[in-house]
Structures are given as C-alpha cells and as structure tokens.
Amino acid sequence: MPFKSDTLSQRMEHACYPIRELFPLSEEIRKTGAEIYNASIGDPVPYLGTASYVVKAYRKALKEGKTSYCRPPGDFGFLDEIAKRYKRLYNLDIDSSKIFVTQGLSEAVAFLVESLMDKGRGAVLFNPYYPVYAPTVGLFGGTVVLSELDEGHGWAPSKENLEEKIKNAKSAGMDLKFMLVNNPNNPTGSMFSRKYLEDVVEVAKNNDLLIISDEIYDEIILVKEKMTCIGEVAKGVPHIIMNGLSKNWGGTGFRIGWVIMPEDDEGSKKLREGFTNLLSMRLCASTPAQLAGVEALSNAKAHRRYLKYIVKNIKERAEFMHKRLNEINGVSCQKAKGAFYLFPKIDLSKTKFKNDKEFCTELLRKEHVWVTRGSGFGLDSHLRTTVLPPVDILEKVAQGIENLVRC
Ligand SMILES: Cc1ncc(COP(=O)(O)O)c(C=O)c1O
C-alpha cells in the first residue's frame, strides 16, 4: 500500500525553519562551481572555531571511555558548574536540583512548550522573534500573540504595546501561559536594558505569565552596557533561564543546553516534575559533551581568553557591516549590542520585489549572496545577516544587497 500524504499529523503543518529554506537553491548553485557568500546561518564554528580547551576536554572524556548514558537531568558535576556560573556572573544562588541539561537550547524550547501548550492556550512573543519559537507553539496546539519591538528605538520592547496585546488576547478568550524573551536578540542584535526587563517582569506578574528567557548569547556583548539575566530582576516571579554551549563557547555541534527553573511556586515545582519525565523519556544528553561542559564552565581563564578573541572579531565585523549597509540607499540598519546578527530594513518600494522572500531568493540566485528573509522572523521588508564571516566576505554580501536594491 502506498504511503499517503494524509498520513502526516495536522500539526506537521507548523513544522518549518526559514533559516534553512534556501538550502536546496544554494546546493544547486554550488554544483555549478560558483562561490556562495554565506551570511545566513548563525554558526560561529566555521569562522571562529570552538574554544580549544573545551575540545580537549571532550577528547579526554572519550579517551577515558565516558561514553555511557548519564542521569537524565544531567551530570552532577556539570550541574554544579552551571550553578557556579550564575553565582559568578549574576550573583544568583541557584540549587543544582533546579537545573536541567538538554540537547541544545532547541530541545529545551520544545520540551517547555510541550509541557505548557494546549489548544486554546497562547504564548506571548516579541516580534521579530527567533523562528523556532512560533512554529513550536503551533506544533503543540497553541497560538502566538506578538508584541512589536520598536525598531526606531534600538528594537526596544514597549510596555504599553505588550499590555494591550495581552489584554486583547485575553478578551478574545485566549488562555495565555508564558512570555518568551530572547536577550541578547536574534535577529536584531539588540539587548534589553535592565529597565526594559523590569517592565517585562511587571507585565508578566500582573498577568500571571511565566517568563522564559533565552540567553544563549549572554556573553557575546559588543558594547560597554552590562547584560542583565532575567533571574536578577524576576526574583519571586515564575521564570526560566535557558542557555547552552553553542554560542559563548562556539560549541554548536556539542548539542548541550540547559534550563534553570529557580522558583518555588506550585507551578514551577510541577513543571520541574513534568520536565524531568520528558528528559527521562529521551534518556540523557551527550555524556562526553557534558564533561566537556564541566571544563567549559570551570576554566574561567581559558574562557575569558576565547571570549575576548571572538567578541573582538564579531565587534569589528558588526561595525563594518553596520556602516556599510547604512551607506546603501534604501537600506537602514540598527547597531548591534550583542550576539552576531544585523537586521537591516529594505525599502522594497525602491526595488522590483514584492516581499523579502522574493528579494532573498533573487539575491542568492543572482548575486550568490545568502541571507535570511526577515519575514521568517515575523517581520517582512527585512533581512537577517550574520556578521560571522570575515570583512571581505561581508563586503561581498553588502555589495550583492546594493546591486539588487539598485536594479
Ligand atoms: C536565540 C537562539 N536560541 C537558540 C538557538 C539554538 O541553540 P542550540 O544550538 O543550543 O540548540 C539559536 C541558534 O541560532 C538562537 O539564535
């Protein structure tokens, strides 16, 4: 009997990841032998490498035969080092029993949304958003409510806009459960100030919303401002901190993330129980990668050296690209404060393209420049470019955008 397309569940309609959607076209172009100027995927490893002291620790774990399953919530030693990191960076006292290791932060998002969403329920996101959040909410039956970030003010959140969107969703009968914050931000490169985070916490508290904070870029800070962890401003308010080895240590392929659920309210306790069951069902995260994580978090001196190197390079590249993009007539771009992205606005009325999807497809086809469409992050007429490649490649990316805006 043939395998019919209606075999797939309805929820599969929500499964998508716009960052990779031009992959087939890029393969086609590569087959012709042409070079592609790729600023689409936020993987620092090809450009800046993984922190070498972490790779060494991974090798050591393999050599010592540390390749069996470990406990589902995570290796004890690794959990302790995660707790110490939050004391060291943010002066937070976190019991390691409230920390859970996941296979990348991506698994943390999937398991949290799975634990919290149902049909009729909703989640609040800031727009633009990292494109895994909204489809995952959809996959588990929920609906997203979007609160716009203010581009003209460095992509700041607006307390009034947030309150209004929540009020409207509640009036329409939606049962809102959580709000997801991403700081520093992908795609905008912005960083919420402490004051903005305090506003977000106040709104969440007034509306009984759990706050989930994705802080995967929390040590890639390109300005003098200090990063505020949600745990510093949300004490006593249900909140969750997520992070992992992918960006601050350049360890994307290790697939190690973590989730911290520090509060002691009834909901947080229940969530910790449910989450532990989900983690048990997938047995454990990679054991040798967690042991590499122990070294990643405990060797503060080596980590400082690696961070200094990557932040210096990212900062130079972000500054170059920010200036270069703003020189193009019809393009405007906010400065990045953290992470490794820029999110320029394209005045499509100056071009022959109807939307940013058309623009990005043609940019790849004609100029061999690969960036991601802003609409994939919830906002049309924008592009997301990484600033990981060296300046000569970034110049090709900017030149390609300029050529296409002009034509
Ligand atoms: C905001 C954000 N969260 C999470 C991830 C993925 O994290 P991980 O590699 O730990 O799954 C990314 C990757 O680009 C990201 O930009």
* d(C-alpha 32, C-alpha 25), whole Å: 11
Give 106 Cα–ligand 1 centroid separation in angstroms.
Answer: 6
Task: Judge if 125 and 188 occupy the same domain.
Answer: yes
244 and 329: one domain? no
Measured CA to CA, the distance from residue 210 to residue 178 in angstroms comes to 4
User: Among 266, 299, 332, where does a domain finish?
Assistant: 299
In the structure, which protein residues have their CB atom closer than 6 angstroms to any atom of ligand 1? Answer: 42, 104-106, 130, 182, 186, 214, 216, 244, 246, 252, 257
162 and 124 share a domain?
A: yes
Q: Which atom of ligand 1 is nearest to the CA of 245?
A: 10
Assigned token pair, 46: 């090809």
Which amino acid appears at position 299 of this protein? N
pLDDT in tens, the chain (407 residues): 677 777 889 899 898 888 788 999 999 999 999 999 999 989 999 999 999 999 999 999 999 999 999 999 999 999 999 999 999 999 999 999 999 999 999 999 999 999 999 999 999 999 999 999 999 999 999 999 999 999 999 999 999 999 999 999 999 999 999 999 999 999 999 999 999 999 999 999 999 999 999 999 999 999 999 999 999 999 999 999 999 999 999 999 999 999 999 999 999 999 999 999 999 999 999 999 999 999 999 999 999 999 999 999 999 999 999 999 999 999 999 999 999 999 999 999 989 999 999 999 999 999 999 999 999 999 999 999 999 999 999 999 999 999 999 87
Alpha-carbon torsion 75, 78, 82, 87, what sign? positive
- Choose the final residue of a domain: 240, 268, 299: 299
Cβ neighbors of 331 (< 8 A, separation 6 or more) are 325, 344, 345, 346, 347, 401, 402, 405
Q: Which atom of ligand 1 is nearest to the CA of 256?
A: 10
Report CA-CA distances (Å) from 280 to 72, 121, 219, 285: 5, 26, 30, 10
* Same domain membership, residue 84 and residue 128: yes
Amino acid at 313: N
Q: Supply the pLDDT for residue 16.
A: 85
Q: How far is the CA of 16 from the centre of ligand 1 (A)?
A: 15
254 and 287 fall within a common domain: yes
| Cα 103 to ligand 1 centroid, rounded to whole Å | 11
Residue type, 315: K
Nearest ligand 1 atom to the CA of 130 is: 1
What's this model's pTM, rounded to 2 decimal places?
Answer: 0.96
Q: What is the pLDDT of residue 350?
A: 87
Which of 40, 45, 103, 105 is the pocket-test mutation for ligand 1 (most atoms within 8 Å of CB)?
105
* Three-state DSSP state, 210: strand
Same domain, 293 and 338: no
CA-atom Rg of the chain in angstroms: 21
Residue-level pLDDT at 17? 84
CATH at 315: 3.90.1150.10
Same domain, yes or no: 131 and 234: yes
Same domain, 43 and 83: no
Q: What is the DSSP string of 306-351?
A: HHHHHHHHHHHHHHHHHHHHHTSTTEE-PPP-BTTEE--EE-GGGS
Q: Are residues 34 and 110 in the same domain?
A: no
CA of 55 to the centre of ligand 1 (A): 20
Q: CA–CA separation, 329 vs 300, rounded Å?
A: 45
Distance CA(116)–CA(133), nearest Å, equals 13
CB 197 within 8 A of CB 233: yes
Q: Report residue 237 as tokens.
A: 């308010």
Domain tally, the chain: 2
CA proximity to 212, closest of 96, 136, 109, 94: 109
Q: DSSP assignment, residue 143?
A: E
The confidence score (pLDDT) of residue 1 equals 66
Of 227, 296, 226, nearest to 257 by C-alpha is 296
109 CA closest ligand 1 atom index:
4
In the chain, % helix, strand, coil (3-state, to 5) comes to 50, 15, 35
CA distance 366 to 363: 6
42 and 83 part of one domain: no
Provide the residue range defining the domain that includes 364. 5-49+303-406
Nearest C-alpha neighbor of 334 from the set 152, 162, 164, 159? 152
Locate the DSSP E strands across 128-238. 143-148, 175-182, 210-214
Q: What is residue 142's DSSP assignment?
A: -
Query: What is the token pair recorded at 364?
Result: 């790849």
Q: Of the residues 19, 40, 103, 130, which should be mutated to test ligand 1's pocket, given the most ligand atoms within 8 Å of the CB?
A: 130
Helices 300-326, 52-63: crossing angle, 10 deg rounding: 130
Provide the CA 66 distance to its chain's centre, in angstroms: 30
Task: Tell me the CATH number at 294.
Answer: 3.40.640.10
Q: Identity (one letter) of the amino acid at 169?
A: A
Q: Closest Cα to residue 19, out of 46, 35, 42?
A: 42
- Please say which residue of 250, 272, 299 terminates a domain: 299
Residues 313, 295 share a domain: no
pLDDT confidence of residue 98: 98
Whether residues 339 and 202 share a domain: the answer is no
